[in-house]
Structure 1
Amino acid sequence: MATGIGETFQQVGVAIGIAGFGALFQQLVLSKYAGPSAVGREVAVGNITRAGDAGRAAFVHSFTSVMVVCAIVCAVGALVAFFFIRQRDLHESAQVL
């Protein structure tokens, strides 16, 4: 039962993470791209051929910013897991003596 709950939370987390970080990425691209909003939406989905150098710069800068946010979220998650997993819940081979 615990495995099922864990896998369910994993799937929900992936879905929410993709939606959330995708929306953040699109918003950053649209705010950084100075051209028409229709072309800005194309840049946000990866079609940077019509946008030129400005579109490429907006895409790369926004992607870098989102990846930094992802790294921070992962680091916080790792710290939370590290501090909240009880030693007695670990397998005996993983416990610190």
Structure 2
Amino acid sequence: MKKNDFPGIEDIVETIRGPLLVLDAKLNVLSANRSFYNIFKVEQGETIGHLIFDVGNKQWDIPALRKLLEDILPAQKYFDNFEVEHDFPAIGHKTMLL
């Protein structure tokens, strides 16, 4: 699945104010909004098309996130209010509600 498979996805993603990533079934990043790039200090070239866990010099290889995406999501197909805490090298401690 590629970003080109979803015409207009960039326009939709950019309307979201908070940081947003769109992943494909293999957990590669299809799209990210400006807020994501600004807050997490990553560039589009190191994000789009890359496995989520490799983004930002592997700063997204977070055990709780990996468990959610690889174990919980495939089994349940849905999740709500899953909290992930992480210390990012460039921006410090963040708590994310997914």
Structure whose alpha-carbon radius of gyration is higher: 1
Normalising to structure 2: TM-score of the pair? Answer: 0.27
Which has more strand, going by share of residues? Answer: 2
Which has more helix, going by share of residues? Answer: 1
By relative contact order (CA 8 Å, sep 6+), the higher-ranking structure is: 1
Normalising to structure 1: TM-score of the pair? Answer: 0.27
